[in-house]
Amino acid sequence: MYNYKKLNKQNILKEGENMIKVGIVGATGYVGEELIRILLHHPEVKISFATSKSYAGQSMDLIYGHFREKCSLICMKDDWESLSEEADVIFLALPHGIASHKITDSLLQKTKMIDLGADYRLKDQKTYEDWYQTVHGSPHLLQKGVYGLCEWYREDIQQSSLIANPGCYTTCSILSLAPLVKENLIKPETIIIDAKSGVTGAGRSLNLANHFTECNESLKAYKVAAHRHTPEIEEQLSKIGHTSICLTFTPHLVPMNRGIFVTAYASIKNGVTEKQIRQAYKTYYDKETFIRLLPEGVYPETRWVKGSNYCDISLTLDKRTGRVIVLGTLDNLVKGAAGQAVQNMNLLFDFPETMGLEATPIFPI
Amino acid sequence: MYNYKKLNKQNILKEGENMIKVGIVGATGYVGEELIRILLHHPEVKISFATSKSYAGQSMDLIYGHFREKCSLICMKDDWESLSEEADVIFLALPHGIASHKITDSLLQKTKMIDLGADYRLKDQKTYEDWYQTVHGSPHLLQKGVYGLCEWYREDIQQSSLIANPGCYTTCSILSLAPLVKENLIKPETIIIDAKSGVTGAGRSLNLANHFTECNESLKAYKVAAHRHTPEIEEQLSKIGHTSICLTFTPHLVPMNRGIFVTAYASIKNGVTEKQIRQAYKTYYDKETFIRLLPEGVYPETRWVKGSNYCDISLTLDKRTGRVIVLGTLDNLVKGAAGQAVQNMNLLFDFPETMGLEATPIFPI
Amino acid sequence: MYNYKKLNKQNILKEGENMIKVGIVGATGYVGEELIRILLHHPEVKISFATSKSYAGQSMDLIYGHFREKCSLICMKDDWESLSEEADVIFLALPHGIASHKITDSLLQKTKMIDLGADYRLKDQKTYEDWYQTVHGSPHLLQKGVYGLCEWYREDIQQSSLIANPGCYTTCSILSLAPLVKENLIKPETIIIDAKSGVTGAGRSLNLANHFTECNESLKAYKVAAHRHTPEIEEQLSKIGHTSICLTFTPHLVPMNRGIFVTAYASIKNGVTEKQIRQAYKTYYDKETFIRLLPEGVYPETRWVKGSNYCDISLTLDKRTGRVIVLGTLDNLVKGAAGQAVQNMNLLFDFPETMGLEATPIFPI
Amino acid sequence: MYNYKKLNKQNILKEGENMIKVGIVGATGYVGEELIRILLHHPEVKISFATSKSYAGQSMDLIYGHFREKCSLICMKDDWESLSEEADVIFLALPHGIASHKITDSLLQKTKMIDLGADYRLKDQKTYEDWYQTVHGSPHLLQKGVYGLCEWYREDIQQSSLIANPGCYTTCSILSLAPLVKENLIKPETIIIDAKSGVTGAGRSLNLANHFTECNESLKAYKVAAHRHTPEIEEQLSKIGHTSICLTFTPHLVPMNRGIFVTAYASIKNGVTEKQIRQAYKTYYDKETFIRLLPEGVYPETRWVKGSNYCDISLTLDKRTGRVIVLGTLDNLVKGAAGQAVQNMNLLFDFPETMGLEATPIFPI
């Protein structure tokens, strides 16, 4: 296997020689193909294989026309043991409930795993099994899996071989609220997250709700007070804030392709000033490349982050009611999935954290 | 002038003979033309005139191609005194700050007025002037103007000659929350309204924010904690609940043509049960034609009300947090503007309240 | 059964008593539910039954939320013999290849049939079987079925009991070109039809191509030189023009819900003048309620016909190349399907041809 | 000034030291900002200045939120003489009729110019003045300006200092048809181009037609038989085919942000075979990086080229009518404008032609 720690970049002679090898399991969903798009341009990476249950044997550029002349990988079937031999890191872009039955200690000794699904995000087996209504296949690995929210767990990630890449709603929600709970500025029982998502968040599987003429030109809420990202947000904010947090989370479906938008509400504690609030965000995010704190009075819009790994955040203090309103937005397929997974990979392999993720957002698109 | 109270419907012989005459001031905005669309099919109404500042002298069917062979009214300039002679009722679809300088007691003796703008909605002159940053032109008429939320003020409306037709966000927000405050079931200081609107809500005036490629495929919040519909919602809910209500209201712009969607949150009072909450809505809305209470577990979607005067409402109790989440939706140009205005007109003239408003919503469109 | 010819409208006493009874087979596709929407407001019609293969036993308002409190018909299974007893006319909104195996002479003696599918549109069995790749189940009825393009075959329709309601692309294409071929003004071998359709044209069945995120924000052509509406257009134009016409037809999918737009090209014959061309359209369409000829320089837009039974048409003579360019547009679910079917029903039952179809187009929606 | 011809790439030591300096005049339209997005990632380029008439003095990242932390250039006013001192090449992204009055021989001695407007595309002054209804300011430079369609005029471009960057419709139309006319395979008088564009093609200037709710969910044709790209296409195809070509061109507006789609029709000459047609395209395009010839039966879709410099092309022979149907698509802001301009710059400065343009298309977005 490749010893990336000893890589001497200045001695690279032939393209690809010292690149790490990556595999993608579940490559033909939107998250999988977005991973490919990003990794194709990552200078330290070579894609070894891509697997697909539904498209095994087919070429990526026939499945996705934008890959023509860019990526003609043939999708393979999953063969976990042998695949792990062929990659330094494997990205798993699978529905929940599969990864936990496949990942083993022995696999983790051969290769690193970045799971973009839900199986290792929640640390409590029962919480997982209650919310996902399925049995967890490897509960002993729950603690081993590091929650891959790079801005908050950078050091833990670097030490790990199993990363639980956060969900799209979750990333946006936690990044938006974490400084407030960390600095103890809000009443934790007052948090409400009203979240909005573009339709790619629902994936590529066919169902009537995402048929063009059923969701175009319409808005709806769904899984009200019952969405599975709720306990994930609660667990992480509780951990960051050293307090038990129970909150209301309401997701909505917006007729657009990409984008997560979070409108988070919380009542500030007595005596807390707007200045303290703004300072908390500066403390944690001022040096973060992928978080852009917006100036007062400027609000995020999903269009400004499309195709990029940015999370844009703004703060408003509603003085009439004593609430802080935090607006956060990100591209659900990038910072909310594939981009953050590559950011995690960069941390795991000691590459510059932003490598392969520097693209300027693209607008209007 | 026409004495509608004495109308004997069974004696109608010729079409139009006993119809009331209506005028529309500001007919070429989206609200104005939607009024025309509805009134063209109202069996008791004849449109006498339509005025337009920007399109005076032009024919409606050249301004709006869908009116070809349906409405070739020539838009006139406003001449308030003479126009009031020609109509039993005048609809005003104007930007705020104009109507209050035009409407006088003497005009109101000649004709009834339904103002679709903001000038007579707030009952306190100072609140109006603070939020709208303009001087009110006829504060002595503020108390005379009845707030035209038909389901709650039906009897007052019938006695009035000046109706303040509620705004689109407002109608949806108040209808969604009123039973809770009326029955004293929630802690009033915990109300948060997270509202979403289609782009017709922003009108037809050109500005960069509503240029197709600037708002298509994007979501944003705007006027956070500062939208002018906030005091209107607060005033009405305070009145209905007999308590002073101060709430947080956050509007968002959704890339679709029509629709208002409200996600309202409030903490329930100790001891209040879900059954009590559901009963409150049944009490006030079960017999209302234009409010459809959805069964438990069914959530509203803007697509189901398009082109109709319906407001769909559903309730969810988030037992984990003790919050009730009320979802409401309506078509901003119909129940949120022109449809409700016609509903008010029906009340004013003793027509069946649903007359001209019975259209089934149209889907998929 | 009801004797509609003897109906004395002035003697109607109770609502519904003398209404005709209609049935809808295949009621839960977009065409079926649009039929219901229109028929609910038709003053001479009562819906007796609606059938559905996939939703049998379910209520229309649970399948389609906009029907709540408007239509709670329970969908039945098809039982052709018994159903025909219960309706004066049956609308068939089925995929091609089913109706021809169900309709029989004995059924047609009991009830009239308006087939919104393709089975009786083409008069030549072989052409049908070649293009649709299926066996026709009742070829002896092909000549009996009258092509239901009301503006051109009004009298034949009135005499028939089996109507082949034209397709959406077809209606728009034929209406756009018929006066030119009828009056022999163009070289028939030069006709090219470049057609564009909204996504409802593809129906409600799930497939990847119509998944929101696959067709939103994209345009494509499909079935190039191979679409099944081609022979239907050719057959009708050949019949109208008394000459054999072979043309090129290219359909495109546009990311919007409703609308057909046809851009038709043909070289004019030597000596033909623009005046002659315009006169031809006036001759055939000036008195047609549902065809709106646009003034010179005004082009159709799909938005101006939405929700209505109109077909808007404009003409441009490209003098540089000697081509006439005809632009036509209609709402594919109304004039392109359900609306035209109701227009046919009105002809069959001697109702005013526009009854139930007078709605003003709705904009912006 | 920088001598790019002598650049020894292997000796680059410090970033930026040997980069060329580029300026952008008219930087705040969609083409200008797309140029910036591409150039920010071009390894041999440094942006010296950006000018804007409407936003002079403002920072790019306040005008366009996606540029936050990516580009904070302050827009300058135009001062042609001094600006030309500061750049090795200047991109002009201006409305037509301005550049021709500004560019002079003396300016062209100081710097290269890539004009993304229309002023130097047509070689005949009268044709320009007829179609654009304005006086050309520097007709003596018309012959000097090389038409910047890289795939066809690569060598001329390399020798030039004034590039007339083709329009978006034009690029797609010419690339789609050129092999047919070059190889004399079609009857030139039969060419019809039915073109469709996303709304960014109309630019950022406000007008009612591009207000969100006016063009969303609608399709229309415009400037029928009268669009200014017509003579540009005719001139270039005539030149390539060594014959005088007069064709019909019809543009349509599609409710999506990006993308040009061309459906071109022509009758093939007697005896021409499908094989010959396919071979012609292979001859000219097989080695072109930015042209992707699609396999038989695969059609282009605008979604597959978004954000990239690709032009995808497919061929269908309609054997029934003897017509070839060529489908072409590209991203109007990339290959149709800014991307092709950078491709031209690469040719001018002897950089690899694909430099800065290698991005994989992004989907779904």
* pLDDT tens-digit series, residues D130-150: 999 999 999 999 999 999 999
CATH H superfamily, domain C169-332: Dihydrodipicolinate Reductase; domain 2 (3.30.360.10)
Which residue in the block uniquely carries the two structure tokens 């997270």? B194
Average pLDDT (D271-295) is 98
For B264-273, write each residue's pLDDT tens digit: 999 999 999 9
Q: Among A208, A256, A257, select the one facing C206 at the smallest CB separation.
A: A208
Element containing residue A50 per DSSP (H, E): strand A45-51
Average pLDDT (C121-135) is 97
- Per-residue pLDDT at C69: 97
Pair of tokens at residue A93: 């872009």
Q: Among A214, A299, A318, select the one facing B364 at the smallest CB separation.
A: A214
Task: Check pLDDT > 50 for residue B364.
Answer: yes
Chain B residues with CB-CB distance to C218 below 8 A: none
Residue A40 contacts D where some CB pair is shorter than 8 Å: yes
- Per-residue pLDDT at C4: 41
- Per-residue pLDDT at B16: 53
Average pLDDT, chain D: 94
To the nearest whole Å, the CA of B192 is away from the closest chain C CA by 27
Peptide bond into D179 cis (omega under 30): no
Pair of tokens at residue A76: 């393979």
To the nearest whole Å, the CA of A58 is away from the closest chain D CA by 16
Average pLDDT (B181-186) is 98
Pair of tokens at residue B75: 């838009």
Query: Are D145 and D153 spatial neighbours (Cβ–Cβ below 8 Å)?
Result: no
CA–CA separation, A329 vs D68, rounded Å? 14
Residue type for D81, please?
A: E
Sign of CA dihedral D239, D241, D246, D252: negative
Give residue D16's pLDDT band: very low, low, confident or very high (50, 70, 90): low
Average pLDDT (B35-60) is 97
Give residue D31's pLDDT band: very low, low, confident or very high (50, 70, 90): very high
Q: Annotate D34-55 with DSSP letters as a single string.
A: HHHHHHHT-TTEEEEEEE-SSS
Q: Which of A90-99, B307-316, D78-87 has the lowest mean pLDDT?
A: D78-87
Q: Among C206, C208, C257, select the one facing A216 at the smallest CB separation.
A: C257
- All residue ranges of chain A with pLDDT < 70 are 1-17
Max CA-CA distance within chain B? 63
Residue C364 contacts A where some CB pair is shorter than 8 Å: no
CA–CA separation, D287 vs C197, rounded Å? 35
- Calculate ∠ Cα C213-C214-C217, nearest 5°: 75
Chain C residues with CB-CB distance to D319 below 8 A: 225
End-to-end Cα spacing for chain C: 41
- Calculate ∠ Cα B153-B154-B157, nearest 5°: 85
Task: Check pLDDT > 60 for residue D226.
Answer: yes
Residue A222 contacts B where some CB pair is shorter than 8 Å: yes
CA–CA separation, D327 vs C220, rounded Å? 9
Q: CB burial class (10 A; 0-12, 13-18, 19+) of residue A211?
A: buried
- Per-residue pLDDT at A340: 98
CB-CB under 8 Å, A199 with C204: no
- Select from 3.30.930.10, 2.40.50.140, 3.40.50.720, 3.90.870.30 the CATH code of A4-166+335-348: 3.40.50.720
Query: Are B59 and B50 spatial neighbours (Cβ–Cβ below 8 Å)?
Result: no
- Residue B99's contacts (CB-CB under 8 Å, 6 or more residues apart) are B92, B113, B115, B117, B119, B120
Sketch the domain layout of chain A as residue ranges: 4-166+335-348, 169-332
Give residue D4's pLDDT band: very low, low, confident or very high (50, 70, 90): very low
- Per-residue pLDDT at B80: 84
Query: Checking phi first, is residue A89 left (phi over 0); if not, alpha (psi -120 to 50) or beta?
Result: beta
CA–CA separation, C45 vs C47, rounded Å? 7
Give residue B14's pLDDT band: very low, low, confident or very high (50, 70, 90): very low
Residue C333 contacts A where some CB pair is shorter than 8 Å: no
Q: How far does CA A193 lie from the centroid of its chain?
A: 18
Residue B286 contacts C where some CB pair is shorter than 8 Å: no
| Residue B48 φ/ψ, nearest 5 degrees | -85, -40
Q: Annotate D194-226 with DSSP letters as a single string.
A: EEEE-GGGG-SS--GGGBHHHHTT--EE-STTT
CB-CB under 8 Å, B301 with C68: no
End-to-end Cα spacing for chain B: 41
> What torsion do the CA atoms of A58, A64, A66, A70 make, to the nearest 10 degrees?
-30
CB-CB under 8 Å, C320 with D194: no
Give residue C17's pLDDT band: very low, low, confident or very high (50, 70, 90): low
- Residue C28's contacts (CB-CB under 8 Å, 6 or more residues apart) are C50, C52, C54, C55, C60, C63, C64, C75, C204
Instruction: State what percent of residues in chain D have pLDDT above 70.
Output: 95
Instruction: State what percent of residues in chain B have pLDDT above 90.
Output: 93
CA–CA separation, D75 vs D87, rounded Å? 15
Q: Among C210, C255, C256, select the one facing A211 at the smallest CB separation.
A: C210
Chain D residues with CB-CB distance to A40 below 8 A: 360
| Residue B126 φ/ψ, nearest 5 degrees | -65, -40
Chain B residues with CB-CB distance to C41 below 8 A: 358-360
Chain B residues with CB-CB distance to C200 below 8 A: 364
Determine the number of helices (DSSP H) and then strands (DSSP E) in chain D.
12, 13
Active site residue D172: no
- Per-residue pLDDT at C80: 84
Three-class DSSP category at B54: coil
Determine the number of helices (DSSP H) and then strands (DSSP E) in chain A.
12, 13
Chain C residues with CB-CB distance to D201 below 8 A: none
Q: Which of B 96-155 lie inside 8 A of A, CB atoms?
A: none
**Strands of A323-330's sheet, edge to edge?**
A220-221, A248-253, A192-197, A260-267, A323-330, A311-318, A291-293
pTM for the structure as a whole: 0.96
CB-CB under 8 Å, A30 with C216: no
Sign of CA dihedral D169, D170, D176, D180: positive
- Catalytic residue from among B71, B75, B150, B168: B168
CA–CA separation, D185 vs B23, rounded Å? 64
Task: Check pLDDT > 80 for residue B252.
Answer: yes
CB-CB under 8 Å, D66 with A303: yes
- Per-residue pLDDT at A184: 98
Query: Are C176 and C138 spatial neighbours (Cβ–Cβ below 8 Å)?
Result: no
| Residue B157 φ/ψ, nearest 5 degrees | -60, -45
D265 - beta bridge partners? Answer: D192, D325
- Residue D196's contacts (CB-CB under 8 Å, 6 or more residues apart) are C196, C219, C252, D251, D252, D253, D254, D259, D260, D261, D262, D263
CB-CB under 8 Å, C210 with A200: no
Query: Are D302 and D329 spatial neighbours (Cβ–Cβ below 8 Å)?
Result: yes
CB-CB under 8 Å, B318 with A219: no
CA–CA separation, D165 vs D114, rounded Å? 7
Average pLDDT (C124-150) is 97
* Rg of chain D on CA atoms, in Å: 20
Average pLDDT, chain C: 94
Residue among D213, D256, D365 with most chain B CBs within 10 A, to mutate: D213
Three-class DSSP category at C294: coil
Which residue in the block uniquely carries the two structure tokens 């008010």? B344
Architecture of domain B169-331: 2-Layer Sandwich (3.30)
Pair of tokens at residue C247: 């043309």
- Catalytic residue from among A71, A75, A150, A168: A168
Q: How far does CA A246 lie from the centroid of its chain?
A: 22
To the nearest whole Å, the CA of D71 is away from the closest chain C CA by 27
C4-165+335-348 and C169-332 have identical folds: no
CB-CB under 8 Å, D325 with C248: yes
Sign of CA dihedral C180, C184, C186, C192: positive
- Per-residue pLDDT at D18: 83
Average pLDDT (B293-311) is 98
* Number of neighbouring beta carbons within 10 Å of residue C290: 24
Task: Check pLDDT > 60 for residue D288.
Answer: yes
CB-CB under 8 Å, B256 with A217: yes
Residue type for B238, please?
A: S
To the nearest whole Å, the CA of D301 is away from the closest chain C CA by 5
Q: Among C200, C210, C212, select the one facing A199 at the smallest CB separation.
A: C212
Give residue C63's pLDDT band: very low, low, confident or very high (50, 70, 90): very high
Give residue C18's pLDDT band: very low, low, confident or very high (50, 70, 90): confident
Element containing residue B152 per DSSP (H, E): helix B150-159
Domain C4-165+335-348 has CATH 3.40.50.2300: no
Which residue in the block uniquely carries the two structure tokens 């069964």? B295
Nearest CA in chain A to B250: A263
Chain C residues with CB-CB distance to A210 below 8 A: 211-213
